[in-house]
Amino acid sequence: MERDDGVERDDGVERGDGVERGDGMTALRLGTRGSALALAQSRGFADALTAATGREVELVEIVTAGDRSSAPVHRLGVGVFVSALRDALAANEIDFAVHSYKDLPTAGQAGLHIAAVPPREDPRDALVAKDGRTLAELPPGATVGTGALRRIAQLHALGLQLTVVPIRGNVDTRVRRVHGPEADLDAVVLARAGLVRLGRAEEITETIDPMLMLPAPAQGALAVECRIDDAELVELLGVLDHAPTRAAVTAERAFLATLEAGCSAPVAGYAELAEGDDGDEIYLRGAVISPDGTRDIRLSRTGTPAEATEIGKALAAELLDLGADSILGTPTESGARTQHLGATE
């Protein structure tokens, strides 16, 4: 059902201030993009929230500028998949939103709060190739599609003489470039988490080792955002917060933010938590790679979860000392080297 405010509800129910339930509680309004992946993520979180707290959740579909346009994502501007959801939150049209964390601009939004970071899905990248092939089994000259500069750069750095083809579109559109009547590529690289959440993990022909392709900061993680003054909801959503995931993502995002790079930059960052002798330890790896793959600056750093932000900042500073800024380019007048764009991945 389409309404004048551009907000589409998933059914005909008039919501306004929420639907009264038999138990006297109103259903929480979860704003979501309409893509298959966004709906799967939102439904998954809604079900987990209902199971943990007993609260009912209604999905409210929001069309974002990124969904409306077919232009290359780097031309669309800041947080192109996110801002319509944040506007709906600020306008009290929805109560909370579930974002792919890696699509969130590194700058937070005044008045909003990330109340939960649920357990992370597998953050690695995945190959979907013809004939069940792995990267190493692709012949020289094989065509591999991907949209993200980070992936393009790391594919080139492998030195496999692959032909990297820039593509965009949702998960289904990208996989159809390999399988299906209009297939024109030998393989595509995309986030394993997206395929897993869509129930399509069997189509993956290789889960790529982070030694070969380091994931994007926050890949595979979700950010659950609500109004900061909605204290009751902040507490309710917090039930599903997963401290180890939050610590890992905090380190990765501090790394990205300190590089002043948006999520369209050729920047990779991946934090793992391991049990050390004195409790948990974060192991953060970071890389900045030139798009042609000829320059690849990567380092790692460890510390405690409480030091997550410091680890990320310090690793970024070390990479900048080694010349990462010359790969990332000159900061623009807004302070960002590349714009803080919405999703390119």
Residue numbers at the binding site for ligand PBG (CB under 6 A): 100, 102-103, 190-191, 193-194, 219-220, 343, 345
Distance between CA atoms of 91 and 41, rounded to whole angstroms? 23
Count of Cβ atoms closer than 10 Å to residue 277 Cβ: 5
Going from the C-alpha of 88 to that of each of 94, 96, 231, the distances in angstroms are 6, 9, 18
Residues 6+ apart with CB under 8 A from 75: none
**260 near 317, Cβ under 8 Å?**
no
Kindly list the catalytic residues.
103
**226 near 104, Cβ under 8 Å?**
no
Going from the C-alpha of 11 to that of each of 1, 99, 341, the distances in angstroms are 7, 22, 32
| Closest distance to ligand PBG from the beta carbon of 194 (Å) | 4
Distance between CA atoms of 173 and 188, rounded to whole angstroms? 11
Closest chain position to ligand PBG (CB): 343
DSSP state of 73: G
